[in-house]
Amino acid sequence: MNIVLLGGPGSGKGTVSNLLEKTQNIAHIATGDMFREEIKNETELGKKAQEFMNKGMLVPDEITINMLKGKINQYKNANGVVFDGFPRNRNQAEALEKMLEEMGQKVDVALYLDMPDEDIIYRTVKRRICSNKDCGEIYNLEFKKPKQEGICDICGSKLIQRKDDNEETITNRLKVYHEQSKDLIKYYEEKKLIYRVELHANIDITEEMTKEWLANYNSNR
Ligand SMILES: [Zn+2]
**Domain ranges in the chain?**
3-114+169-219
Distance from the alpha carbon of residue 60 to the mean position of ligand 1, in angstroms: 34
Q: Is 123 a catalytic residue?
A: no
> Which range (53-62, 76-85, 114-123, 210-219) has the least confidence?
210-219
What integer is the mean pLDDT of 86-113? Answer: 95
The pLDDT value recorded for residue 221 is 66
Confidence of residue 45 (pLDDT cuts 50, 70, 90): very high
Per cent of the chain over pLDDT 90 is 68
The closest of 32, 179, 189 to 109, measured between CA atoms, is 189
Q: What is the pLDDT of residues 121-158, one digit of tens each?
A: 988 899 999 999 899 898 989 888 999 999 999 999 99
How many other β-carbons are positioned within 10 Å of the β-carbon of residue 44?
10
Confidence of residue 209 (pLDDT cuts 50, 70, 90): confident
The CA radius of gyration of the chain, in Å to the nearest whole number, is 17
Q: When comparing pLDDT for 209 and 145, which is higher?
A: 145
- What topology does CATH give the domain 3-114+169-219? Rossmann fold (3.40.50)
* Angle in degrees, CA 200, 202, 204, rounded to 5: 125
Q: Is 127 a catalytic residue?
A: yes
Q: Alpha-carbon distance 97 to 198, whole Å?
A: 26
Distance from the alpha carbon of residue 120 to the mean position of ligand 1, in angstroms: 23
Of the residues 88, 123, 128, 144, only one is catalytic, namely 88
Q: Give CA separation, 162 vs 82, 113, 128, 139, 192, in Å.
A: 22, 21, 7, 12, 35
Distance from the alpha carbon of residue 53 to the mean position of ligand 1, in angstroms: 31
Distance from the alpha carbon of residue 157 to the mean position of ligand 1, in angstroms: 5
**Bridge-partner residues for 29, per DSSP?**
83
* Side-chain-facing half-sphere of 180: CA atoms under 13 Å: 18
Confidence of residue 120 (pLDDT cuts 50, 70, 90): confident
Of the residues 69, 71, 126, 173, only one is catalytic, namely 173
Asked whether 199 and 12 are in contact (CB, 8 A), the reply is yes
Max mean pLDDT among 3-7, 15-19, 162-166 falls in 3-7
What integer is the mean pLDDT of 60-65? Answer: 95
SS (H, E, C) 139-188: EECCCECCCCCCECCCCCCEEECCCCCCHHHHHHHHHHHHHHHHHHHHHH
pLDDT above 90: residue 11: no
Q: How far is CA 193 from the centre of its chain?
A: 17
The pLDDT value recorded for residue 143 is 82
pTM assigned to the model: 0.80
**Cβ-based neighbours of 116, under 8 Å, separated by 6 or more:** 200
Distance from the alpha carbon of residue 139 to the mean position of ligand 1, in angstroms: 10
Q: Is 196 a catalytic residue?
A: no
Q: Alpha-carbon distance 8 to 22, whole Å?
A: 22
Q: Alpha-carbon distance 192 to 120, whole Å?
A: 26
Q: Is 88 a catalytic residue?
A: yes
Q: Is 36 a catalytic residue?
A: no
The closest of 1, 22, 4 to 196, measured between CA atoms, is 4
pLDDT above 60: residue 203: no
Confidence of residue 213 (pLDDT cuts 50, 70, 90): confident
